[in-house]
Amino acid sequence: MAIDSDVFGQGVAVITGAASGIGAGLARRAGALGMTVVVTDVNAEGAEATAAAIEAKGGKAHAEQVDVSIPEELDRLAELVFSRHGEVRLLINNAGIETVGNSWEIPTARWEATLNINLHGVVHGVRAFAPRMIASGQEAWIGNLSSVGAFGQMPGQSAYTVTKHAVQAFSECLYLEMELKGLPIHVSAIVPGMVRTAIFDPETGAGEPDNAAGHRSAMREMIRQYGMDTDRAAAIFLEQMAQKQFWVHSDPATAAQIIAGRIAFLKDQIPPIMPDIARAIAVD
């Protein structure tokens, strides 16, 4: 029996990177359930469009332009949200970018952007919001966007993979910190499988090496053919979060397969295993 409407039928949700993709899907779902949604993104027009879509369906939302790669922007957001709403029930640190290219060929600016958005955006999102959530004394939920990529290796996607391994480890430690302190903050690692988003679209790859285009195109086509619908994935994620699950999956079978491979890799201490798809789409 679904309980998401009971758990997330009221209160305030803050979702980063919600102009498109999984973030927009999560924002729409939270709004449909009855939450007041603070839709944030560096893309102000996209955030406004998501908020407008929620309001058009009778929900409550407002948009804020936020660059999660700047810690002070997350401090500003937390101050604004808590001064306006008093407390936050649901925080989802979703903002992220994919970066394609051999690790030694990715320019400094793109490396820094990937680390700052994907990893530091999550870390500082928690740092800015968690103290206020704790001080409110209310039960609350934090979801951090991990990935099936957090449990494997993928040549040509090293920058993204590094950040997702780190987000997974951070989320595990955060869960234990909340448990150790006996706090009513439920932490989830959201682990999408293949979801139909624009993360591999050409325009999102600015600053990558020129030879990354073929890899990006192949991954985009694979997502188009086999990816799960974004709104369906968002509904699955929020239901599992409502059940206070740490592991939140859209494709548990694929995740289990990848995790099993990771366990064998660590147990046997063998060299990294080349994913089946890697040679077919390898960066030159």
Q: What are the catalytic residues?
A: 160
> What is the token pair recorded at 99?
């970066």
Rounded to whole angstroms, the Cα distance separating 134 from 150 reads: 28
Rounded to whole angstroms, the Cα distance separating 30 from 35 reads: 6
Contact indicator for 176, 153 with CB cutoff of 8 Å: no
Nearest to 142 by CA among 179, 191, 89: 89
Chain centre to alpha carbon of residue 283: 25
Residues sharing a CB contact under 8 Å with residue 210, sequence separation 6 or more, in sequence order: none
CA distances from 196 to 98, 117, 273 (A): 14, 20, 26
β-sheet with 140-145: strand ranges across: 60-65, 36-41, 12-15, 90-93, 140-145, 185-191, 247-249
Alpha helical stretches, state H, the chain: 4-7, 21-33, 44-56, 71-85, 108-114, 121-136, 158-180, 213-226, 230-242, 252-268
Task: Say what the alpha-carbon torsion angle 228, 94, 111, 210 is, to the nearest 10 degrees.
Answer: 30
